[in-house]
Chain A
Amino acid sequence: EAGVAQSPRYKIIEKRQSVAFWCNPISGHATLYWYQQILGQGPKLLIQFQNNGVVDDSQLPKDRFSAERLKGVDSTLKIQPAKLEDSAVYLCASSLVGWETQYFGPGTRLLVL
């Protein structure tokens, strides 16, 4: 079974630029999550999708972050404009349904200069 795919793996941008991350979850997984992990901390949930609907985006900075999940499969997370404090690893995860085991992708490491 293929795992969660993410791209790119690394991205370096300057502040005020925009950036987008892509995630392809495990086939058949209805729930998709985006997490932000700052160095030395645990992952923090940014947004959770159930199929193509948003379940929770309470911690998503909506003035600069946006996310969508087209046709309930792939998802993109966008930051526009980026700030220095957005430097982090962005992790995508999926699960069959909520409350169950989440499977994580390798993450995208973002550095904002």
Chain B
Amino acid sequence: SQQGEEDPQALSIQEGENATMNCSYKTSINNLQWYRQNSGRGLVHLILIRSNEREKHSGRLRVTLDTSKKSSSLLITASRAADTASYFCATDGGDYNQGGKLIFGQGTELSVKP
């Protein structure tokens, strides 16, 4: 079953614009992670945010987490054509007995036009 649901499913913007992707999940979590996947390749880890954190930055990436609303957002500022990829949020289900397995959403497909 899918834990995270990303919104929108697809996003097309011009280079230099900001891109915002949202993720909603259903159960409690220990942490939430965002991954990027370029076409035909494996996933690359972007950011991990813990349940007691509200915001985290990494370069042009900003992630927020609202555990009361069970939602997270990923903001990419000043987007580049190289940011074109699928973006996934993944949660751990909140149960340490599950060993930290990740449950991924369907992903947001981002297209950045030069």
Chain B hits for A104, CB < 8 A: 35, 42-45
How many A-B contacts are there with CB distance less than 8 Å? 68
Interface string of B81-99 (1 = CB under 8 A from A): 0000000101010001011
Q: What per-residue 1/0 map shows which CB atoms of A5-48 lie under 8 Å from chain B?
A: 00000000000000000000000000101000000111111001
A42 contacts B42, C-beta separation under 8 Å? no
State which residues 58-114 of B face A: CB under 8 Å.
88, 90, 92, 96, 98-107
How many chain A residues sit at the interface, stated as a range, is 20 to 34
A55 on the B face (CB < 8 A)? yes
B4, B43, B100: the one within 8 Å of A100 (CB): B100
Residues of B within 8 A of A (CB): 2, 4, 30-31, 33, 35, 40-45, 48, 88, 90, 92, 96, 98-107
B42, A106: Cβ atoms closer than 8 Å: yes
Provide the residues of chain B in CB contact with A100, threshold 8 Å.
Answer: 48, 100
12 CB < 8 A contacts A-B? A4-B42, A31-B100, A42-B104, A42-B107, A43-B88, A56-B101, A91-B43, A93-B43, A99-B30, A99-B99, A106-B41, A107-B42
Residues of A within 8 A of B102 (CB): 33, 43, 45, 102
Q: Which residue of B lies closest to A42 (CB)?
A: B104
Is A98's CB under 8 angstroms from B100's CB? yes
* Cα–Cα distance between A48 and B39 once the two chains are bound (Å): 25
Inter-chain contact A48/B99, CB cutoff 8 Å: yes
Smallest CB separation, A42 vs chain B (Å) = 3
Give bound CA distance, A102 to B31, whole Å: 13
| Contact A99 to B31, CB < 8 A, known contacts A42-B88, A44-B104 | yes
Q: Which residue of B lies closest to A97 (CB)?
A: B100
- Residue pair B96, A99 in contact (C-beta under 8 Å): yes
